[in-house]
Amino acid sequence: MLSLLAMNADPAEPRAILAFYMEAGVDAVLQEEPVDRFAGDARPATASEPGASPAPDQAPRSTSDAAVAPSLLAGIGGANLSRTTPAPPQPLADAPPSADAAIMAARELAKNAASLDDLRALLDRFEGCGLRKTAKQLVFAAGNPQARVMFVGEAPGREEDLEGLPFVGRSGQLLDRIMAAIGLDRSNAYIANIIPWRPPGNRTPTPQESAICLPFIQRQIELADPDVLVCLGGPSATTLLNAREGILKTRGRWRPYQTGKREIRAIATLHPAYLLRQPLQKRLAWRDFLAIKKALSTS
């Protein structure tokens, strides 16, 4: 699919093509024929014998074709991979930590955060989640951390990645309108995501990525200490409330949530992005927000 798009693109706009590849999550260039990265410069002995014809898998390649991979990688800051001189494998010391090690490190760091500012600074330096390498910046939170209600979604999108704030795109604008209908805005609500970095191409975060970031959002909820926690969408409800059913069955039901300091009331509702795709389901979300309004007025 990417190859077809590249063929149809205007060759005078290579920057636009590279930008599309990066937005789609492309981080490596693959060649049409396999290359043995462990072989180095080794070549079959028959290739150096006078008059010997190259083996079928050693057939000469066109110069223009061989230049494609190095030029593309050079444009996005990658290594210069040529067909004649393959890049050596990276040393094991540069390999990212395992998911288990990253989760343990996240738990230890989150535990040591004494304030939301400390937590944000720790996340800014945390190297255990690979998403930080593809995202433009950390998307930590928006709104009032002293608010009585906290909304938690799954992960930031493109607009959020550009601005560094959660829920500022179309789904965020819809969330603002729904909150306004029950007397809330960003001055009396606190908004965050389980994953604070945008996944490339807005793909769904992996279970490992969610598990690595979980200690940080749990500590963020603990430090904010709201009276009501609202999980926006199924992934948030599954991660924070251990909900095992689909969001349409999970939504609208109050559950207890332990912040670490006390037990608070938590509820799941439909994600605004889902409501944009399924506008008829706004009636269900409206019921949930009326329940949130009632809970805030009586607690």
Tens of pLDDT, residue by residue over 92-144, are 445 556 889 999 999 999 999 999 999 999 999 999 999 999 999 999 999 99
* CATH 3.40.470.10 domain extents, the chain: 99-298
For residue 297, what are its two tokens? 């007025």
Tell me if 10 sits within 8 A of 32, measured CB to CB: no
Which one is the CATH code of 99-298: 3.40.470.10, 3.90.550.10, 3.90.1300.10, 2.30.30.90?
3.40.470.10
Write the CA distances from 132 to 103, 127, 138, 209, 293, integer angstroms: 15, 8, 7, 11, 36
Render pLDDT for 250-270 as a digit per residue (tens, 0 to 9): 999 999 999 988 999 999 999
What pLDDT is attached to residue 31? 66
Other C-beta atoms closer than 10 Å to the C-beta of 186 total 17
CB within 8 Å of 148: residues ≥ 6 apart: 188, 226, 227, 228, 296, 299
Q: How far is CA 147 from the centre of its chain?
A: 26
pTM > 0.85: yes or no? no
Task: Using alpha carbons, list the distances in angstroms from residue 245 to 205, 222, 275, 279.
Answer: 19, 25, 19, 22
pLDDT tens digits, 64-99: 444 443 433 333 344 444 444 555 555 444 555 688
Report pLDDT for 168.
Answer: 96
**Number of residues that this document lists for the chain:** 299
Q: Report how far residue 58's alpha carbon sits from residue 11's, in angstroms, rounded to the nearest whole number.
A: 30
Tell me how far apart the 2 most distant CA atoms of the chain are, in Å: 92
Q: Is 111 left (phi over 0), alpha (psi -120 to 50) or beta?
A: alpha
Contact at 8 Å (CB) between 157 and 199? no
